[in-house]
Amino acid sequence: MNVLIKQVLNRIFPAVLILLALLFLIPGFIFSQNPVPLFKDDNFTDPLRGPVLFDHDQHELMYDCSRCHHLYDNQGNLLEGMASIDLRCSDCHTVEGQDDILPLRRAYHLQCKGCHLDEGQGPFACSECHIR
């Protein structure tokens, strides 16, 4: 093989390999973003707003489960440190509310927005949580 051809191939071949690698790797990086988790409660048959952007895993790392998944005894006393992780909010809170149990929408707003206000961080406005 001609010396000139060898020199050209030695310079072009690595560049072609790098270019091919980039062509295969870049789309993977661009399209590999984790989807934003949505929280939607099917108890709201005609919701005023869309589902809520909510990353459960992120919250789970920062807070004890009982902070959100609270549990009460039969007399209505909060059981400190006990979590209702096997229950949905709607298992206790109905859309309309009953007796001294908050309606479901109010319970969500007090729990989520109340915590954000207490912590002084997080979304506060409706459109910052609810998507259209």
Q: Are 49 and 126 in contact (CB under 8 A)?
A: yes
81 torsion bin: left (phi>0), alpha (psi -120 to 50), beta (else): left
Of the candidates 39, 37, 49, which has an alpha carbon nearest to the alpha carbon of residue 126? 49
Q: What is the mean pLDDT of residues 5-32?
A: 73
Query: Could you tell me which residues come within 8 angstroms of residue 44 by beta carbon, excluding any fewer than 6 positions away?
Result: 95, 104, 105
pLDDT tens for 41-100 read 889 888 888 899 888 888 889 888 888 888 888 888 888 888 888 888 899 899 998 888
pLDDT for the residue 36: 67
Phi, psi of 53 (to 5 degrees): -75, 120
Predicted model pTM: 0.66
User: Which is more confident, 107 or 30?
Assistant: 107
Per-residue pLDDT, 35: 64
- Beta strand extents in the chain (DSSP E only): 38-39, 52-53
Q: Is a pLDDT exceeding 80 seen at residue 1?
A: no
